[in-house]
Amino acid sequence: MRYIPHTEDDVARMLRVVGKPSVASLFDHIPERLRAKRPLDIAPLDEARLLAHLGELGAKSRPAVGVTEREGAALSFLGAGLTSHHVPTAVDMMLMRSEWYTSYTPYQPEVSQGTLTAIFEFQTMVSELYGLGLANASMYDGATAAAEALMMAERLTGKHKSLLSYALHPHYTDTIYTYLRSQHGHEAEGYAPCVSFGKDGRVDQGQLSAALSAGDVGCVVVQSPNFFGVVEDVAAIAKLAHDAGALLVVANAEPLAFGVLQSPGAVGADIAVGEGIGLAIPPSLGGPGVGLFAARPEYVRQLPGRLVGETTDKDGRRGYVLTLATREQHIRREKATSNICTNQGLIALAFTIHMSLLGRRGFTELARINLSLSEHAKSVLTKVPGVSLAFTGATFNEFTLALPRNAFDVVKALAERGIYAGVSSRAAGLYRAETPPSTGGTKLVAPDDRWLTLAVTERHDRSTIDRLAAALTEVLR
Amino acid sequence: MSDRRIPEVHPVDTLNLLHTEKLIFEQGAPGRSGASLPPLDVPAIDPASLFGSMARTEAPLLPEVSEVEVTRHFTRLSRWNYAIDIGLYPLGSCTMKYNPKVNERTARMPGFAGVHPMQLESTMQGALELMWRLEQCLIELTGFQRVTLQPAAGAHGELCGIMMVRAYHTARGKSPKKVLIPDSAHGTNPATCAANGLEVVGLKTGADGIIDLESVKAAIAAHPNDIAGIMITNPSTLGLFEEHLGEIADLVHEAGGLVYMDGANFNALLGKVRPGASGVDVMHINLHKTFTTPHGGGGPGSGVVGVGERLVPFLPTPIVEPLADGGEGYRLDYDRPQSIGRMRSFFGNFGMFVRAYTYMRELGGEGLTKATEMAVLNANYVRALLSDVYSLAYDKPSMHEVVFTDKRLKKETGVQTLDVAKRLIDFGYHPPTIYFPLPAVTGGAGALMIEPTETEAPETLEHFCAAMRAIAVEAIADPSIAKSAPLNTAMRRLDETKAARNPKLRWTPTT
């Protein structure tokens, strides 16, 4: 057993030192009624057979992302909360260093300066991208970060009513709903997505303004670019929210957008959260992700999650430590700002390394490449007979088409041709959120089953976009 | 600045080739980049033409460095970290066992790493099958009816588990508010209750270190018809088996409550106890502890949750099911009307599922049982080698970890737990968990919580214990050494008070 070093002689000698007659006797104090009644039934495999077995399982899926498409990956335009970018080889090579992936929480700063320094750099990058002076060491993912942001806003305003945009990623809406229902019980019925969107695909400001008029709202949550890819007018929404005494949380599933767009903080967001997986590691069925969390610095005492701060050592040299832990569960227990214990250290590291490689120029350039290819794809795809844009609002690298028929059927037909064309608005468990919540009498625009949301990135080029257009034409014929 | 540049250098900038490293933001030069981007073969779009005033006018302050500088920076930083692959990492309750290399290979297979969560189910069958198989292994290990893989970490699993407990009561038209939690519990337990709008009723650890049955009876009697459940860590954070678990479960069930078991220490129970068959209704397991997925400097983890029959309807959506019509394959089931809902986006930390499943299949049932046996033997061996020098917190038999206090040492030498921890670094070890759990640190004592895990050979433990003993001996001769430790590290003791008093939480340019 290669991970368990004990020889028979070792065990015998150790038992003599411990003063026990047998290994079994170490468990003698476990009462009979609690003991397992039979041995475990799991068959072991040696490494070669293990690799063969896992390889066979893996071969039963067709990946969206591979080293090259020729190796069996589909041509993928999937986004919807996870837009995979090309992550350079240097990132994964670095993650495989034992010093990174086999270390733990930097409880002892003298032997964890690597992790602590990297988190400090990560916090700086998230703060820069979202334009807010404060960022934490990361959350589980974008959806849980959004739920934590809403709860933080409620603590700050003392108001327990929030407004959610209907164009927020349905997984984020559902997660927020789960968290709040647990905290507030049935009162959470008020947390429905209740702000609809107009023909431009953006938040209906008239409706938002009306919903805010009573002054009882603590928090407004919108996503930008939103689930349909449309860029929200965050500045206008922020003004409406602030005038009504509410805080604005901006969620974002594609941080790259802020290479070409004003950061949420620069246009009035109080808290910004996002998902960094697409810029950090391969999609891995969507997990592990890395939740990005930024806020105005004055809110630091209400921030959930870990924080790293700068300090000095005994000799006056600059170093880093976990800090402001009095917000956290291991100190505050039931009075903590969140029950979160860890962060997503390794994925945050991958994000930090990739951001370092892209750098100031590369990040902006990559964002422009995405924008240009996406605009090109829009013009090519809307030339396909019967296909138009679902919304008039500006988009970044993701947009929504209105197809002449059910988009889910089209997605299936294209998958058979090796193309993952995108996500149909009613597929894959999306819009579960439309069932439970009461909408406060507000009329919502129901997602149309002909809508297809797709992402175009630097992984694509003129020819792959043409391939999608040709296949779409064929399927729709 | 002159074109001919010669900076100031000092030999103290490196110690044993460990480089004093500037932040990545402080390196490089304007205009430099480590990006590899494709040429644009379509018309370039000016963001301002599309977004108007919403277009970004100034690029974010990201580093300006080449790939060489990035590689060196993060390689150099990594060398400032201690890690399992460097040596024994005896953090109690963290189960820092060896992370098998083959796990990293399987998790990176394109059929796993390359799968997008929004693919059609028919194109991700291998991923769904892996999740199903992992769940079956976990059911075999725990005796539960079903296991949700969704929670991202142990604390997230707790949140999920207590949400289900609450939903169970709500579905029965009840809303009990009290959760019994022993004082030895991890801080996430009470924080989880607070996040669920529930109130903690503390249970005092008995004189023998485990939960006292009478205190449970008293707590239940004090809150008639208001017991939502109990959260019980077994083995406890003191490394002791909760011998009254069966009776406690009976009492809580009679009072209408449910039993949550914190499975953080499940590494002590593989093949020995199946909690789902022992009166436990719900339990989270940390795949990153017991099942060797790497800790990654503080995540990602995975906090899967097993449930008994009563809680199955409340599991988060979606869950993986075999195809209903007898066809071969798997599907995602969203149609679960009593579900607590979604805990997060997508399906969980899938990369960790691949690693944990790889590990379970390599060891098999017999190997996993042996892992538990050797983990318990190792903890008891450390206990036997140290208990004449350090004070045992409790005298009951140890499971996977052993907790010592500094009572004797502190009284005789003034050297305390923190000093011992820092001095251990000079001997080449990551310190154990310190000042936890709470029952061991009453009366101003400091606790050292040592969990060696089964992957350590006896010689390693002997060397570690020799270091612990040397520190105690040295403390008598000259207590000032431990108090100023670590002495051999490139970075000395850091000023945590200063960091908190004047928080500097991001880099800002000096000019």
pLDDT digits (tens, 9 = 90+) for B297-327: 999 999 999 999 999 999 999 999 999 877 8
Look at residue A189 in the predicted model and tell me its pLDDT: 55
Which residues in A lie closer than 8 A to residue B276 (C-beta atoms)? none
Residues in chain A within 8 Å Cβ distance of B20: 317
Q: What average pLDDT is seen over chain A? A: 91
CA distance A283 to chain B (A): 5
Cβ–Cβ below 8 Å for B317 and A84: no
Percentage of chain A beyond pLDDT 90 is 80
The shortest CB-CB distance from B80 to any of A105, A113, A345 is to A113
pLDDT at A436: 36
Q: How far is B271 from chain A (nearest CA, A)?
A: 6
The model's pLDDT over A411-452, given as tens digits with 9 standing for 90+, comes to: 999 999 999 999 987 654 454 444 333 334 344 455 678 999
| Rounded Cα gap, residues B59 and A239, in angstroms | 24
ipTM score over 0.85, yes or no = yes
Q: How many angstroms away from the CA of A226 is the closest CA of chain B?
A: 15
Tell me how many residue pairs between chain A and chain B have CB atoms under 8 A apart.
720
Q: How is residue B320 written in tokens?
A: 């993986």
pLDDT recorded at residue B5: 84
CA distance A42 to B432: 33
Q: Is the pTM of this model over 0.80?
A: yes
Question: What's the pLDDT score for residue A434?
Answer: 43
Answer whether A26 sits within 8 Å of B297, measured CB to CB: no
Q: What is the pLDDT of residue A187?
A: 55
pLDDT at A391: 94
Mean pLDDT score, A56-81: 86
φ and ψ at A142, to 5 degrees?
Answer: -65, -40
Tokens of A392: 């008039």
Which among A99, A124, A140 is the nearest to B156, CB-wise?
A140
Query: Virtual CA dihedral for B42, B46, B47, B49, nearest 10 degrees?
Result: -120
Looking at residue B218, what is its pLDDT?
A: 96
Residue with tokens 């997508």: B346
pLDDT of residue B7: 82
From the list B118, B191, B200, the residue facing A428 with the nearest CB is B118
Distance from CA of A346 to the nearest CA of B (A): 5
Q: Which residue of A has its CA nearest to B461?
A: A14
Determine what percent of chain A is predicted with pLDDT higher than 70. 92
Compute the distance between CA of residue B155 and CA of residue B284 in angstroms, rounded to an integer.
9
Please name the residues in contact with A453: beta carbons below 8 A apart, sequence gap of 6 or more. Answer: A79, A80, A227, A228, A229, A398, A399, A400, A401, A422, A423, A424, A425
Which residues of chain A does B170 touch, with a Cβ-Cβ cutoff of 8 Å? 185
Task: Name the residue of chain B whose CA is nearest to A80's CA.
Answer: B118
Choosing among B135, B284, B491, which should be mutated to test the A contact, i.e. which has the most A CBs within 10 A? B491
Provide the token pair at A262: 């004003």
When mean pLDDT is compared across A236-245, A467-476, B183-192, the lowest value belongs to B183-192
Using the beta-carbon criterion (under 8 Å), do B78 and A99 form an inter-chain contact?
yes
List the structure tokens of B162: 């207590």
B273 neighbourhood in chain A, CB within 8 Å:
30, 34-36
Taking an 8 Å cut-off on Cβ atoms, the answer to whether A100 and B120 are in contact is no
Which among A234, A365, A462 has the least Cβ separation from residue B37?
A365
Chain A residues with beta carbon closer than 8 angstroms to that of B346: 81-82, 141, 171, 285-287, 289
Q: For residue B371, list chain A residues with Cβ-Cβ distance below 8 A.
A: 3-4
User: Does A314 sit within 8 Å of B273, measured CB to CB?
Assistant: no
**What's the average model confidence in pLDDT over A232-236?**
97
- Disruptive mutation site among B345, B368, B451 for chain A (greatest number of A CBs within 10 Å): B345
Q: Indicate which of A342, A379, A397, A420 best probes the interface with B, i.e. most B CBs within 10 Å of its own CB.
A: A342
Please state, in angstroms and rounded to a whole number, the distance separating the CA atoms of residues B113 and A54.
Answer: 12
- A461 and B42 within 8 Å at the Cβ level: the answer is yes
When CB atoms are compared, the residue of A57, A94, A339 closest to B158 is A339
Q: What is the pLDDT of residues A307-327, one digit of tens each?
A: 999 999 999 999 999 999 887
Asked whether the beta carbons of residue B366 and residue A31 sit closer than 8 angstroms, the reply is: no
- For A65, the closest chain B residue by CA position comes to B114
CA of B8, closest CA in chain A: separation in Å?
Answer: 17
User: For chain B, which residues score pLDDT lower than 70?
Assistant: 12-14, 511
- Asked if the Cβ–Cβ distance from B54 to A123 is below 8 Å, we say no
How many other CB atoms are found less than 10 A from the CB of residue B206? 16
Residue of chain A whose Cα is closest to the Cα of B456: A5
Per-residue pLDDT at A10 = 97
Where does residue A428 rank: exposed (0-12), middle (13-18), buried (19+ CB within 10 A)? buried
Distance CA B110, CA A313 (A): 44
Substitution target in B125, B278, B346 with the highest count of A β-carbons within 10 Å is B346
3-state DSSP percent of chain A in helix, strand and coil, to 5 = 45, 15, 40
Q: Name which of B18, B37, B61, B62 to mutate to probe chain A: the one with the most chain A Cβ atoms within 10 A of its Cβ.
A: B62
CB contact under 8 A, A314 and B493: yes
pLDDT of residue A186: 54
Looking up tokens 């970890």, which residue turns up? B401
d(CA A243, CA A240): 5
The C-alpha atoms of residue A145 and residue A290 are separated, in whole angstroms, by 9
Residue from the list A259, A347, A458 with its beta carbon closest to the beta carbon of B300: A347
